[in-house]
Chains A and B, each alone.
Chain A
């Protein structure tokens, strides 16, 4: 009699253990992961939250919060993503994990358009980074931050630290070469009105600027030459100066505009053709 009771207690413990405690969190994790894999990020977050809520042993504090952050990142909810990365970082046990999470936060900041925060974080990480491979990773993301900041010169320098022939370094150099010099466009328009516009390929605007400046310049000089000082001052101030200022403002504007086009062409190329790690 006692023997059977003993067997039954064992049986109960076995069943409870199997169906009750051990299996459920694992299944829940699997379920959440499957939603995550199917790119159903909103529902995946719900299930990770459920797992965290019922996970009595705090076994999944790191992994579930990390996955939630990733899901938010894929949904372009960058603020929330960074918050959850920070929570996950608090539960991270290995320094390696912490470092990787910091890099994830950097990448999220790059995507969010807060590149300066990313650069500041990378500076701080650089001070602590021990190994060469870690430093290389930091340089890599620094390069990306600069590219998004439209600063291709510094981006090129960062990539060069990893490898002088780094694919992205070469691309940055190419963009730098292609870009128009804003200063040159402005200066040449100071000297020869309209020529800054010609330099950036805006011929009609350049011609109009040149025309107006010649016209009002001529009338001003003419007025002074024939001793109509008042007329000369009025025309110079109200008309010539106005078009002269418009001339070099346009030269600068067009150069920046064309540069933005070049930048965007390059960014499009990186997004569609580059196969390496992206933020």
Chain B
């Protein structure tokens, strides 16, 4: 009898340990399986920090399918933004609208993307109720909104707003941009055209294209003189030919002076935007910086 129980107990023990050992082995093998969720997340984070965003997104999505994770959604949106796939980023960020912790941040990021896309009305629409933001995010929303005004072609808001939102550290720089936006050093297109109508080439000189202006004056002078000379010598055909040419070049110069002023002004805008871009990038559009454990 006793022997029998000991036999049963040995069988029982054996089975117990066998089951235990195989299940333990499975656990171990799972942690070493490259495609389990934990490892996919680990690998995705590594790729993300390497800026290999597209591959990182694939990993995150695989994890997300099994366990929905809002932080991952945010990271996916952020990766799309970094790859300049703005529409996909906006879509991803909008999915976080209901999230308690991330909705504010994702809306800020969306605002930045609209600014980068130059869709300014969308930025205002998104940030207009910045009061809605939690206290610590409100300041970001406000700064982003007033930064957008510097990019936009709408009339600038009162400068007191800027003093309200920006810290004294960056305010002088911001105000420099504000003043430049308010009084850009444009050249008047009308004045340029009128000047060239009075003295051919003068409009071009006013715009800064001195060589072109002098050439235009010479051209008109020589052609006009030839026309006059031929009328005087009674060479009818040649006289009218040169008159016609003078007219075309006279008109062309007025036209060109207006065009030159426009190009000059577009250069003023270009340089302003470029410097503002550098400034904004340096301060990360005044948004919070995310390190995502990459540093």
Contact = CB atoms under 8 A, between A and B. Distances in A.
A134 B19 CA distance: 59
A1 B34 contact: no
Interface string A178-194: 00000000000000000
Contacts of A11: 17-18, 21
Interface residues of A, number: 19
Contacts of B46: 53
A16 B17 contact: no
Contacts of A46: 55, 58
B25 A20 contact: yes
Given A11-B18, A24-B34, A54-B34, A49 B47 contact: yes
Interface in B1-43: 10, 13-14, 17-18, 20-22, 24-26, 28-29, 31-34, 39, 42-43
A19 interface: yes
A230 interface: no
Contacts of A49: 43, 47, 52, 55
> Quick one: which of B17, B33, B34, B43 has the most chain A CB within 10 A?
B34
A18 to B, nearest CB: 8
A260 interface: no
A16 B33 contact: no
A28 B34 contact: yes
A204 interface: no
Interface in A33-61: 46, 49-51, 53-54
Nearest to B35: A50
Contacts, number: 56
Interface in A163-216: none
A50 B45 CA distance: 12
A198 B18 CA distance: 93
Given A20-B28, A24-B33, A46-B58, A54 B43 contact: yes
A50 B28 CA distance: 19
Contact of A4 (B14, B32, B34, B52): B14
B25 A16 contact: yes
A76 interface: no
B18 A8 contact: yes
B10 A15 contact: no
Given A8-B17, A46-B55, A24 B32 contact: yes
A28 B102 CA distance: 36
A15 B34 contact: no
Contacts of B26: 19
A15 B28 CA distance: 10
Given A1-B10, A4-B14, A4-B17, A50 B43 contact: yes
A94 interface: no
B24 A12 contact: yes
Contacts of B32: 20-21, 24, 54
A12 B34 contact: no
Contacts of B29: 16, 19-20, 24
A19 B34 CA distance: 12
Contact of B21 (A12, A21, A24, A53): A12
Interface string A1-23: 10011001001100110011100
13 contacts: A11-B17, A15-B22, A20-B25, A20-B32, A21-B32, A24-B32, A24-B34, A28-B34, A49-B55, A51-B34, A53-B42, A53-B43, A53-B46
Given A16-B29, A21-B32, A49-B55, 17 more contacts: A1-B10, A8-B20, A8-B21, A11-B17, A15-B22, A19-B25, A19-B28, A19-B29, A20-B29, A20-B31, A24-B32, A24-B33, A24-B34, A46-B55, A49-B47, A53-B43, A54-B39
